[in-house]
Chains A and B, each alone.
Chain A
């Protein structure tokens, strides 16, 4: 059954994406580590974590696409799951600092010593163990999404109402994490990381490994999403997106379908956050900013929602653009981003992938027309209407 599901999941596009990601996962670290300095194909050291960051953003966009593109739930709070995953990883990395902190306290992170705390809060226990921390990366966003989604979907909060309460959720978390007595470093967040799994976090090998891990995690997420959307459940998700009431009247438990998508999506977002933090070296409450979560929506929209490859393209493209703009014309970045929102929603609702699809269809149609035209000329048959591909 699993092989069957895998087989179904690996339709042609998904195979291509996974293959490309695996190639990247090997090629980028190789190019950075093996090639000598100055080699034209060598990736400079700074670029590795930068590209890794783009991959985690792509993963976040993919997670959002699963709920928005396939299930019609526009979450404006996905940044919260990303940030929570990041904080779980950050807590692990904080505990690894040990006595190398400014205050050299073997147990307490610096900011707690600074706040004059005497012992570790209960939720910090066990976070020095990598696997427990990784469990939390998956568990906490998943649990939050489960509780939130259960309450929201059960009482049929839909559409913009849902979008707004997800925004309220991430805003509440933003305010909460800003507080010093929450025990997450307040305003400054968690930073100054030293080691991950015993390896120095700034060493090129660790960075290369983190990049490979990001690429592989993204590939796995693509597999998982592809499996879900190509399964029967995936069809029901699309049905919920397109006609929620009708799906409910057909006998499907719409709320459970949505809940499933929401939780899986939150877990993927959490993992993305956990991979993001060691590559950028800091996690702070600004990741919870509602504006960040809305930005994720535009990555997905630019690439093309309702497709697997779309959000990955969008997440990478928009962020490469952001890096370029904020460096070259910092004052125009927000203009560009704002215009992107407007242009994408007005002119390319299906994103880049949709545009390619349109072009593709247009050319094939023309070819067919030409063919049928010549056939007509030969046999004098009326051209038949082509069945429209499902959208």
Chain B
């Protein structure tokens, strides 16, 4: 469905830009165009073919959109009036609009609509028609898009059209894509001459990526014997590239996982560093952050639907406040009575985590809640051979921002200075006049607040449920003990190392075994460096 929506918005975008930017482009008056479009509704497939032929001659870019929607099988007409309409959602649902004027048609209902039927023959005609209208368009953007879509489909029926487009093309970049598309089509036609094959193979190889690899592999079976070695070398070259990109992909997944771990662990690291307290309820703070996002989105959905894309920006400070205040309450209410008894603190916070989990379950039920992605976080983009989803990308960025911000807070603010002093030597700091209880409360609030921010981020890549935090807590501990306490860089290195290592082990041993291996490696690592990678040096560590 997303793809359809995306395609449609691209088509719409094209229509708009074309309409505004190139007034020279054929533009037919609405009143003239509407009956031509409506001619698609009645009659059989033959009649429709004729109607498409007429539409193409108008050269109007609005026709392209109509044809594309028809190709998807999502074009509807009103049974009573025979009028062709668009619907905003697939399956003939949502708002109904006029395809020509884009005006809403409130009089029509979804019940009265019927689908304009297409068959394979008509689809071929449609593709050619769209190709004609776009490949020969005067707008370079439209031509490029058309060439790319032909490259994707590689439909032999488009060969002639493509040839004429190549002949008339002046832009070198677009011409290259068209030639690549032509080459991909040639590889699909076994009766092409040897010369054509030989010319086509390097062109297709230059496309790169998995699609080129697939095209070449298919072609290898039908190719004449003379060009088989050539194709094989091309395939090998592509496979090598692919392997390199796969490594890059693993690194990216690893960084992505690592930044999730970083977000979840960094708050834990500072509370542990400053107070020597293991906060078992940390995972629940993450969970509360995620639920804050959920609540914010629900409120927005019901009251201010237009603000949806801003929901995360609203949820972030709220989540920080909510979890930070709960954190301070926990510190003041429970933990301050347990100083010098880290193991007891661990137990008390575990008890709190059970209570929080159960309370959230009572309020929001145990059902999994889905938190929506704002539009700017959905979808993905390609970087070379990598497919990077926007939400993961933003989470990596967000984790880095949080990390740097925390680093700055620790380094350049008074509370940060106090926190570092207490981390290094609590008694000495106290003797110098630092109010350690206040620092403790602030640290705990800050650590919990960051957990809340992590929850907002995590709600974007998974579902939200009362035991969301439990899934991250052990991993966060691993990051902290691996990286060492009292140094944020340790947490960063720990999180990224664990993330990348996890993703590199995973393909060989599977996710579960990979995780077990990582856990065992960490247990062994702790034997070597009992206080983590970046251990604090000095007398303070012997608590």
Which residues from 498 to 543 on chain B have a C-beta closer than 8 Å to any C-beta of chain A? 512-513, 515-516, 519-520, 522-524, 526-528, 530-531, 542-543
Contact of B519 among A168, A294, A337 (CB under 8 A): A168
The answer on a CB contact under 8 Å between A168 and B351 is: no
Say whether B334 faces chain A, with CB atoms less than 8 Å apart.
yes
Say whether A385 faces chain B, with CB atoms less than 8 Å apart.
no
Interface string of B353-383 (1 = CB under 8 A from A): 1110111001000000000000000000000
Say whether B344 faces chain A, with CB atoms less than 8 Å apart.
yes
Say whether A213 faces chain B, with CB atoms less than 8 Å apart.
no
The answer on a CB contact under 8 Å between B530 and A169 is: no
Say whether B429 faces chain A, with CB atoms less than 8 Å apart.
no
Say whether B407 faces chain A, with CB atoms less than 8 Å apart.
no
The answer on a CB contact under 8 Å between B513 and A168 is: no
Which residues from 316 to 358 on chain B have a C-beta closer than 8 Å to any C-beta of chain A? 334, 337-338, 341-348, 350-355, 357-358
The answer on a CB contact under 8 Å between B357 and A172 is: no
If A165-B481, A334-B357 touch, whether A179 touches B530 (CB-CB below 8 Å) is no
| Minimum CB–CB distance for B23 against chain A, Å | 65
Residues of A within 8 A of B523 (CB): 148, 151, 165, 168-169, 172
Residues of B within 8 A of A342 (CB): 334, 348, 351-352, 355
Residues of A within 8 A of B334 (CB): 342, 346
The answer on a CB contact under 8 Å between B527 and A160 is: no
Residues of A within 8 A of B522 (CB): 165, 168
The answer on a CB contact under 8 Å between A163 and B278 is: yes
The answer on a CB contact under 8 Å between A334 and B347 is: no
The answer on a CB contact under 8 Å between A152 and B344 is: no
Residues of B within 8 A of A163 (CB): 278, 343, 346
Query: How far is B524's CA from A178's CA once the two chains are assembled, in angstroms?
Result: 22
Residues of A within 8 A of B530 (CB): 155-158, 161
| Minimum CB–CB distance for A258 against chain B, Å | 14
Query: How far is B511's CA from A179's CA once the two chains are assembled, in angstroms?
Result: 11
Interface size class of A (residues with CB under 8 A): 35 or more
The answer on a CB contact under 8 Å between B477 and A167 is: yes
Residues of B within 8 A of A139 (CB): none
The answer on a CB contact under 8 Å between A335 and B512 is: no
The answer on a CB contact under 8 Å between A338 and B353 is: yes
The answer on a CB contact under 8 Å between B346 and A160 is: yes
Q: Which residue of B is nearest A158, CB measured?
A: B530
If A172-B516, A175-B512, A178-B512 touch, whether A161 touches B347 (CB-CB below 8 Å) is no
Say whether A176 faces chain B, with CB atoms less than 8 Å apart.
yes
Residues of B within 8 A of A74 (CB): 343, 346
The answer on a CB contact under 8 Å between B358 and A331 is: yes
The answer on a CB contact under 8 Å between A152 and B526 is: yes
The answer on a CB contact under 8 Å between A157 and B338 is: no
| Minimum CB–CB distance for B435 against chain A, Å | 23
The answer on a CB contact under 8 Å between A341 and B351 is: yes
Say whether B37 faces chain A, with CB atoms less than 8 Å apart.
no
| Minimum CB–CB distance for B186 against chain A, Å | 48
Say whether B474 faces chain A, with CB atoms less than 8 Å apart.
yes
Contact of B526 among A161, A331, A339 (CB under 8 A): A161
If A179-B512, A342-B348 touch, whether A168 touches B355 (CB-CB below 8 Å) is no
Say whether A124 faces chain B, with CB atoms less than 8 Å apart.
no
Residues of B within 8 A of A291 (CB): 470
Say whether A245 faces chain B, with CB atoms less than 8 Å apart.
yes
If A157-B527, A172-B516, A345-B338 touch, whether A337 touches B354 (CB-CB below 8 Å) is yes
The answer on a CB contact under 8 Å between A152 and B520 is: no
Query: How far is B352's CA from A301's CA once the two chains are assembled, in angstroms?
Result: 16
The answer on a CB contact under 8 Å between B515 and A334 is: no
Residues of B within 8 A of A169 (CB): 519, 523
Query: How far is B338's CA from A10's CA once the two chains are assembled, in angstroms?
Result: 35
Q: Which residue of A is nearest B345, CB measured?
A: A345
From B348, B351, B478, name the one whose CB has the most chain A CB atoms within 10 angstroms: B351
Which residues from 465 to 488 on chain B have a C-beta closer than 8 Å to any C-beta of chain A? 470, 474, 477-478, 481
Q: Which residue of A is nearest B281, CB measured?
A: A338
How many contacting A-B pairs (Cβ < 8 A)? 125
The answer on a CB contact under 8 Å between A339 and B346 is: no
Query: How far is B353's CA from A338's CA once the two chains are assembled, in angstroms?
Result: 7
If A337-B354, A338-B358, A345-B347 touch, whether A160 touches B338 (CB-CB below 8 Å) is no
The answer on a CB contact under 8 Å between A165 and B526 is: yes
The answer on a CB contact under 8 Å between B527 and A334 is: no
If A157-B526, A161-B531, A163-B343 touch, whether A168 touches B478 (CB-CB below 8 Å) is yes
Query: How far is B337's CA from A154's CA once the two chains are assembled, in angstroms?
Result: 32
Query: How far is B512's CA from A64's CA once the two chains are assembled, in angstroms?
Result: 29
Query: How far is B345's CA from A349's CA once the two chains are assembled, in angstroms?
Result: 11
Residues of B within 8 A of A168 (CB): 474, 477-478, 519, 522-523
Residues of A within 8 A of B520 (CB): 172
If A152-B527, A161-B530, A346-B334 touch, whether A338 touches B351 (CB-CB below 8 Å) is yes
Contact of A345 among B344, B357, B516 (CB under 8 A): B344
Q: Which residue of B is nearest A152, CB measured?
A: B527
Q: Which residue of B is nearest A153, CB measured?
A: B527
Residues of B within 8 A of A178 (CB): 512
Residues of A within 8 A of B531 (CB): 161
The answer on a CB contact under 8 Å between B278 and A160 is: yes
Residues of B within 8 A of A176 (CB): 512-513, 516
Query: How far is B472's CA from A171's CA once the two chains are assembled, in angstroms?
Result: 12
Residues of A within 8 A of B519 (CB): 168-169, 171-172, 175
Say whether A132 faces chain B, with CB atoms less than 8 Å apart.
no
Residues of B within 8 A of A298 (CB): 347, 351
Q: Which residue of A is nearest B531, CB measured?
A: A161
Residues of B within 8 A of A160 (CB): 272, 276, 278, 342-343, 346
Residues of B within 8 A of A165 (CB): 481, 522-523, 526
Residues of A within 8 A of B342 (CB): 159-160
Residues of A within 8 A of B276 (CB): 160
Residues of A within 8 A of B337 (CB): 346
Contact of A151 among B351, B354, B515, B524 (CB under 8 A): B524
Which residues from 234 to 286 on chain A have a C-beta closer than 8 Å to any C-beta of chain B? 245
Residues of A within 8 A of B516 (CB): 172, 175-176
Say whether A62 faces chain B, with CB atoms less than 8 Å apart.
no
Say whether A340 faces chain B, with CB atoms less than 8 Å apart.
yes
Residues of B within 8 A of A340 (CB): 351
From B345, B346, B358, B478, name the one whose CB has the most chain A CB atoms within 10 angstroms: B346
Known: A169-B519, A338-B350. 19 other contacts (CB 8 A): A152-B526, A152-B527, A155-B526, A155-B530, A157-B526, A158-B530, A161-B530, A164-B481, A165-B522, A167-B474, A168-B519, A175-B519, A294-B350, A338-B354, A341-B347, A341-B348, A342-B334, A345-B345, A345-B348
Contact sample, A vs B, 10 pairs, CB 8 Å cutoff: A151-B523, A152-B526, A159-B543, A165-B522, A167-B477, A298-B347, A338-B351, A338-B358, A345-B348, A346-B334
